[in-house]
């Protein structure tokens, strides 16, 4: 049985303005191969063209409760890591952050919960799942945009993550 994302109640898919889910299952990689490229956000722009201006406030890697900044999809995003479970004891690795753009109570405010789950599967495979829920008027607009920029952008992120991990093994 495959594992699932842990959702905060107010970001539960189906009850937000926008939701996207992307997943890949790849052979000859493991959670240990993938994890370093995800938690070192300084590397994101090297394999994901939609991330820039990463600022981890002096930290080297993402970690629980870290507040950080990056730009993506044209939005300047402040974020805080709200879940952090590195690979351990055959359990899935997990990381999630709450991100926001805009001032509270403004019509252009965007709030997101972006979560990742990485788990080893039988037969030398790894599953990488990333899902995001969004709240706010920009999310409502994104939900109706075709092609869906979030779905396509997150697929690029997954593809880049797999490519850089494969290049390093």
How far are the Cα atoms of 28, 58, 70, 96, 132 from residue 16, in angstroms, in the given order?
A: 36, 33, 23, 17, 10
Residue 51 lies in a domain: yes
Spatial separation of the C-alpha atoms in residues 22 and 129, rounded to whole Å? 6
Specify if 65 maps to a domain: yes
**Residue listed under structure tokens 């890591």:** 81
Residue 5 lies in a domain: no
| Structural domain boundaries enclosing 122 | 15-167
Two structure tokens written together for 61: 């890697």
- Asked if residue 6 belongs to a domain, the reply is no
Domain-embedded: residue 9 = no
Check residue 2 and give its pLDDT: 81
d(CA 127, CA 23): 7
Residue 24 lies in a domain: yes
Taking the C-alpha atoms of residue 34 and residue 116, their distance in angstroms, rounded to an integer, is 11
Q: Is residue 2 part of a domain?
A: no
142 half-sphere exposure, CB direction, 13 A CA radius:
25
Residues 103-159: tens digit of each pLDDT:
888 989 999 999 999 999 999 999 999 999 999 999 999 999 999 999 999 999 999
Residue 101 has pLDDT above 90, yes or no: yes
pLDDT value at residue 31: 97
C-alpha angle 4/115/118, rounded to 5°?
A: 60
- Total number of domains constituting the chain: 1
The CATH number given to whatever domain includes residue 128 is 3.30.530.20
pLDDT, tens digit, 9 for 90 and up, residues 1-13 = 689 999 999 999 9
Asked whether residue 3 is assigned to any structural domain, the reply reads no
């Amino acid at each position: 049985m495959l594992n699932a994302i842990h959702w905060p109640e107010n970001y539960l898919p189906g009850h937000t303005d926008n939701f996207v889910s992307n997943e890949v299952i790849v052979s000859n990689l493991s959670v240990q191969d993938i994890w370093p490229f995800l938690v070192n956000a300084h590397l994101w722009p090297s394999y994901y063209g939609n991330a820039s201006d990463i600022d981890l406030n002096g930290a080297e890697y993402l970690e629980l409760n870290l507040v950080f900044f990056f730009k993506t999809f044209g939005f300047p995003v402040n974020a805080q890591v709200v879940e952090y479970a590195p690979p351990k004891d055959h359990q899935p690795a997990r990381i999630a952050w709450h991100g926001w753009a805009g001032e509270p109570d403004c019509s252009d405010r965007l709030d997101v919960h972006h979560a990742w789950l990485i788990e080893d599967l039988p037969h030398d495979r790894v599953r990488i799942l990333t899902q995001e829920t969004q709240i706010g008027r920009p999310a409502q607009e994104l939900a109706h945009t075709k092609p869906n920029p979030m779905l396509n952008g997150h697929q690029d992120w997954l593809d880049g993550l797999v490519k850089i991990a494969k290049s390093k093994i």
